[in-house]
């Protein structure tokens, strides 16, 4: 039996307020579900919810922000690891370049020692 597609936070929009405006900030969310129809064609369904609708669905601001923070942290950690790997690859390539340059210099020195300049 196929897994039931799970909804996910597709979009989050925060509506802030100007300084001095005592109206509470608002937000809306768009929840989405990706799946396949009977013919195997990909589907994408969205549901837009305002603050009240999201709360009625059990999606409160705290849950949204916790999810956003976790996702952002995972992205930062992944990018940090990718950067560390790329930096190590670059440093390795530089070391290899320096080693090859040293070998070329040594061979040139040997060649110059055998063939005096005219």
Going along the chain, which residue ranges are E strands?
Answer: 8-15, 26-36, 42-50
**Both tokens of residue 15?**
């509506």
- Mean pLDDT across 21-47: 90
With a CB cutoff of 8 Å and minimum separation 6, the contacts of 75 are none
What pLDDT is recorded for position 2? Answer: 57
What pLDDT is recorded for position 57? Answer: 86
* Residue count of the chain: 118
The yes-or-no verdict on residue 117 having pLDDT over 70 is no
Domain ranges of the chain: 1-59, 60-118
Place of tokens 């060649």: 111
Q: Which of the pair, 100 or 57, is modelled with greater confidence?
A: 100
Among 14, 8, 16, smallest CA distance to 28 is for 14
CA angle, 48 as apex, 64 and 31 as ends, to 5°? 50
**Both tokens of residue 24?**
């509470």
């Amino acid at each position: 039996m196929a897994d039931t597609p799970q909804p996910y936070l597709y979009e989050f929009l925060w509506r802030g307020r100007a300084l001095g405006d005592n109206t509470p900030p608002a937000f809306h969310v768009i929840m989405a579900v990706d799946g396949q129809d009977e013919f195997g064609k990909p589907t994408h369904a969205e549901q837009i919810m305002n603050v009240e609708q999201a709360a009625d669905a059990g999606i409160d601001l705290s849950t949204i922000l916790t999810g956003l923070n976790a996702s952002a942290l995972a992205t930062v950690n992944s990018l940090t690891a990718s950067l560390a790997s790329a930096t190590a690859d670059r440093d390795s390539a530089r070391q290899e370049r320096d080693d090859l340059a040293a070998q070329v210099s040594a061979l040139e020195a040997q060649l110059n020692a055998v063939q005096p300049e005219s």
